[in-house]
A and B are shown apart, each in its own frame.
Chain A
Amino acid sequence: MRVLVAMSGGVDSSVAAALLVEQGHDVVGATLKLWGGESDSGCCSVADVEDARRVAQQLGMEHHVFNLTDEFERHVVAPYVGEHARGRTPNPCIECNRSMKFDRLLQRADRMGFDRLATGHHARVTGGDEDGRPMRLRRGADAAKDQSYVLSMLDQHALARVVFPVGEMTKDEVRARAQRLCLRTASKPDSQDVCFIGRAQGREGFLTGRIALHPAEVVDADGLPAGSVDAVELVTVGQRRGMGHGTDGARRYVTHVDVGTRRVVVGSAADVLRPSVLLAAPTLTWVDAPLSSGARAVAQVSAHGRAVPCTVELGRDGAVVRFDDPQRAVAPGQTVALYDDREPDAVVGAGIVG
Chain B
Amino acid sequence: MVGMTTTYLDHAATTPLRPEVAAAMAEVHSAPLGNPTGSHPPAQRARRMLEEARDEVAAVLGRDPGEIVFTSGGTEAANLAVLGTLEAAVHDGRDAVVLASAVEHPAVLESCRAAARDGADVRELPVDHAGVLDLDALARALSPRCTLVAVMAANNETGVVQPLAAVVDAVRRRAPEASVFSDAVQAAAFCDLAELTAGVDLVGVTAHKVGGPVGIGALAAAPGVVLEARQFGGGQERERRSGTQDVAGAVGLATALRLAAADRAATASRVAALRDRLADCLVAAVPGAHRTVPPDVEVLAGHLHVCLPGVEREELLVGLAAQGVCVSGGSSCASGALEPSHVLSAMGVPAEVAVGAVRFTLGHDTSDADVDRALTIVPEVVATLRRSA
Contacts and interface: CB of A to CB of B under 8 A. Distances in A.
Interface of A: 28, 31, 33, 45-46, 49-50, 53, 60, 62, 64-67, 69, 108, 110-113
Contact of A62 (B1, B312, B332, B388): B1
Contact of A49 (B312, B317, B335, B384): B335
B331 to A, nearest CB: 11
A33 B332 CA distance: 12
Contacts of A62: 1, 318, 321-322
A111 B315 contact: yes
A67 B384 contact: no
Interface in B282-317: 312, 314-315, 317
B338 A67 contact: yes
A33 B318 contact: no
Contacts of A66: 314, 337
5 closest A-B pairs by beta carbon, nearest first, are A33-B337, A49-B335, A67-B337, A65-B337, A65-B336
A174 B318 CA distance: 29
Nearest to A60: B1
B337 A49 contact: yes
Output the residue of A28, A69, A111 with the most chain B CB within 10 A. A111
Say what secondary structure dominates the interface of chain A: mixed
Contacts of A46: 333-335
B56 to A, nearest CB: 38
Given A49-B335, A49-B336, A49-B337, A64 B312 contact: no
Interface residues of B, number: 21
B316 to A, nearest CB: 9
Nearest to B322: A62
B385 interface: yes
A45 B333 CA distance: 11
B339 interface: yes
20 contacts: A33-B333, A33-B335, A46-B334, A49-B335, A49-B337, A53-B336, A60-B1, A62-B1, A62-B318, A62-B322, A64-B318, A64-B321, A65-B337, A65-B338, A67-B337, A108-B315, A111-B385, A111-B389, A112-B385, A113-B384
Contacts of A31: 335
B319 interface: yes
Contacts of B314: 64, 66-67
Contacts of B321: 62, 64
Given A45-B335, A64-B314, A112-B315, 6 more contacts: A28-B322, A50-B335, A65-B335, A67-B339, A111-B385, A113-B388
Given A110-B388, A113-B384, A28 B335 contact: no
Nearest to B338: A67
Contacts of B335: 31, 33, 45-46, 49-50, 65
A67 B312 CA distance: 11
Contacts of B389: 111
Contacts of B336: 49, 53, 65
Given A62-B321, A62-B322, A67-B314, A111 B388 contact: yes
Contacts of A112: 315, 318-319, 385
A113 B312 CA distance: 14
B319 to A, nearest CB: 6
Contacts of A33: 333, 335, 337
Interface string B324-347: 000000001111111100000000
A50 B322 CA distance: 21
Contacts of B312: 108
A46 B332 CA distance: 12
Contacts of A60: 1
A53 B337 CA distance: 12
Nearest to A69: B337
Nearest to B388: A111
Output the residue of B312, B314, B319, B384 with the most chain A CB within 10 A. B314
Nearest to A31: B335
Contacts of B334: 46
A62 B319 CA distance: 11
A292 to B, nearest CB: 37
A55 to B, nearest CB: 14
